[in-house]
Amino acid sequence: MTETNRIEYKRELSDGLEKEVVAFLNYREGGIIYIGIDKEGNTYGLPDADGDQLKIKDRLKNNIRPSALGLFDIVSEEREGKNILKIIVASDPEKPYYLKKYGMSEKGCFIRLGSAAEPMPQKMIDELFAKRTRNSISKIKAGRQDLSFSQLKIYYEESGHTLGKAFAKNLELLTEDGAFNYAGYLLADKNNTSIKVAKYSGKTRTDLIESNEYGHECLVKATKQVIDKIAVENRTNTKITAKERQQANLWNPIALREAIINAFVHNDYTNEITPKFEIFRDRIEITSSGGLPEGLSEQEFYEGFSVPRNKELMRIFKDLELVEQLGSGIPRILEHYGKESFKFSDNFLRMTFTAKETAVEEGGQIGGVMGGVIDETEALTKRQKEVLKLIAANTSITYNEIAEALSINESAVGKHIIAIKNKGLLVRQGDTRGYWEINLDKKL
């Protein structure tokens, strides 16, 4: 392998790393830096990859301006039996990025040209600065300043992190004059952000049968609620053939989750329009505000080049492990759905996922009647109802599949299932290759 306009190799961690990162931040496609591989592509490895990873994060955090947090990932990989580091760098509208030590000058600004990081001409620096996105959620002052963040703190604690007293500054939830910005407003315990999930009985919007509203709270919580709601709607349909009983979800759960998170993270909130989720009989539509980021083509979008619209949200969603790594979401969706599922306009992006064609057993759709009965029971908590609905939709579902659908860990799934079993509503038939049986005689 050789270096390209998007790939840089370094045999070891050196003083020039920040320069290379700045060059990729200012390049319209971003790029990838491998540490532990020389210029000829030979793998040398790193004796202390974990230690180097911490050093890199600290250096990129403190030595580059504007803040690059949320715009880079550091991934540990093994190649030829040796440990290397992969730094994924995204582009961003807030160009030009520069070395803090030298400021916004030709000595501090760099751009990727071919396989090298070259000083940026002053004219280009001035032009980029003139175009810099000023109307972003980090620069807009929140309409109210009496904000609290107990929900966000809980999510961080659950992920093994602790938010200190300076968390608002560290997470870039403040404007330059120290007031809460719009990113902070979106992540606060209370706000006026409304997220709609609509369900229609047919293929058009003429017959609305269910309208759910989430939001008015921390955007992370609203995201998780929408994921849970649509996971329950993503029921398993059954087709009976002469030889076997075939089961499949209406939509691929991995792609669906990626699409929901993508809509939340990359939505343009500056116009106060929120993502919208609509469930039809034959499809699901997910619409977010904002078209393609400036300078990014559709082809580059499909190839996973990342230009985060809201780097503050991206950084927090990554901290909470809702986002795996930069640029991974769209390629994961494309593993299951074609490019025709995406439609761009000047102001919106719509993802449309067609439901799998299904034929159900005589007696109707599995989980339909039962799902309604489950909703009416007072013996189960809300989460236990969601677990039981997923089991009703797929009696062979695994703990891992339930955990993934509801965005909880497997141990939590186990506790919910034990509680449902103790109420006599659920029985396991057979071993790991068996199936679940719901006891309707208990009159859910």
What pLDDT was estimated at residue 236?
Answer: 63
Are 54 and 22 in a shared domain?
yes
List, for residues 163-178, the tens digit of each pLDDT value.
889 999 999 999 989 9
d(CA 416, CA 402): 11
Strands 276-279 and 194-200: parallel
Comparison of pLDDT for 244 and 273, the residue scoring more: 273
Closest CA to 66 of 24, 104, 38: 104
Rounded Cα distance, 413 and 419, in Å? 10
So what's the pLDDT on residue 8?
Answer: 95
Q: At what angle do helices 410-422 and 399-406 cross, to 10 degrees?
A: 110
pTM greater than 0.75 = no
Output the pLDDT for position 199.
94
At 72 the three-state DSSP class reads: strand
Largest CA distance in the chain: 77
Q: For 2-51, what is each residue's pLDDT tens digit?
A: 888 899 999 999 989 999 999 999 998 899 999 999 998 999 999 999 99
Parent domain of 304: 194-354
380 and 323 share one domain: no
CATH code: domain of residue 340: 3.30.565.60
Long-range Cβ contact pairs of 169-175 (< 8 A, separation 24 or more): 171/312, 171/315, 171/316, 172/67, 172/69, 172/138, 172/311, 172/312, 172/315, 173/312, 175/138, 175/139, 175/140, 175/141
pLDDT of residue 364: 37
User: In this structure, is residue 230 part of a structural domain?
Assistant: yes
Residue 140 within a domain:
no
Euclidean distance between CA atoms 86 and 75, whole angstroms: 5
Closest listed residue to residue 197, CA positions, set 279, 289, 288: 279
Rounded-to-integer distance, Cα 391 and Cα 395, Å: 5
Neighbouring CB atoms inside 10 A of 215's CB total: 20
343 and 378 belong to one structural domain:
no
User: Quick check: 59 and 335 in contact, CB under 8 A?
Assistant: no
- Residue 162 maps to a domain: no
Average pLDDT value for the chain: 87
Q: Which of 63-77, 133-147, 244-258, 306-320 has the lowest mean pLDDT?
A: 244-258
303 and 265 in a single domain? The answer is yes
**For the domain that residue 413 is a member of, what is the CATH number?**
1.10.10.10
pLDDT class for 441, splitting at 50, 70, 90? Answer: low
In a domain, 178, yes or no: no
Taking the CA atoms of 141, 145, 151 and 156 in sequence, report the sign of the dihedral they define.
positive
- Domain of 70: which CATH number? 3.30.950.30
Residues 246 and 299 reside in one and the same domain: yes
**φ and ψ of 349, to 5 deg:** -125, 125
Does residue 221 surpass a pLDDT of 90? yes
Q: Count of domains in the chain?
A: 3
Structural domain contains residue 180: no
Q: Which contacts (CB < 8 Å, 24+ apart) does range 342-349 have?
A: 342/298, 342/301, 342/302, 344/291, 344/292, 344/298, 345/291, 346/291, 347/289, 347/290, 347/291, 348/287, 348/288, 348/289, 348/290, 348/291, 349/266, 349/287, 349/288, 349/290, 349/291, 349/292
Distances (CA, A) of 402 to 379, 434, 440: 20, 16, 21
Last residue of a domain, one of 327, 354, 381: 354
Q: Tell me: pLDDT of 444 over 50.
A: no
State whether 239 and 347 are in the same domain. Answer: yes
436/320 same-domain check: no
What's the pLDDT at 307? 81
How many Cβ atoms sit within 10 Å of the Cβ of residue 97?
A: 28
CA distance 421 to 439: 10
CA distance 10 to 243: 57
**Residue where one domain finishes, among candidates 354, 388, 406:** 354
**Same structural domain, 105 and 206:** no
3-state SS assignment for residue 16 = coil
- Sign (positive/negative) of CA torsion 376, 378, 382, 386? negative
Q: Are residues 415 and 295 in the same domain?
A: no
At 338, list the tokens. 């074609």
Q: Is residue 214 part of a domain?
A: yes
Per-residue DSSP letter, 431: S
Same domain? 336 vs 400: no
Domain end residue (candidates: 131, 156, 185): 131
Residue 367 reports pLDDT greater than 50: no
Task: Enter the DSSP assignment of 4.
Answer: -
Residue 240 belongs to some domain of the structure: yes
Distance CA 390, CA 406 (A): 9
- For residues 234 and 236, give the distance between their C-alpha atoms in angstroms, rounded to a whole number: 7
391 inside domain: yes
DSSP collapsed to 3 states, 44-69: CCCCCHHHHHHHHHHHHHHHEECCCC
- 438 three-class SS: strand
pLDDT in tens, 14-23: 989 999 999 9
Residues 6+ apart with CB under 8 A from 223: 260, 261, 264, 317, 322
Answer yes or no: do 310 and 377 share one domain.
Answer: no
pLDDT tens figures, 265-302: 999 998 889 999 999 989 999 999 988 877 678 888 88
The verdict on 347 and 410 lying in the same domain is no
The angle at the Cα of 203, spanning 197 to 208, to the nearest 5 degrees, equals: 45
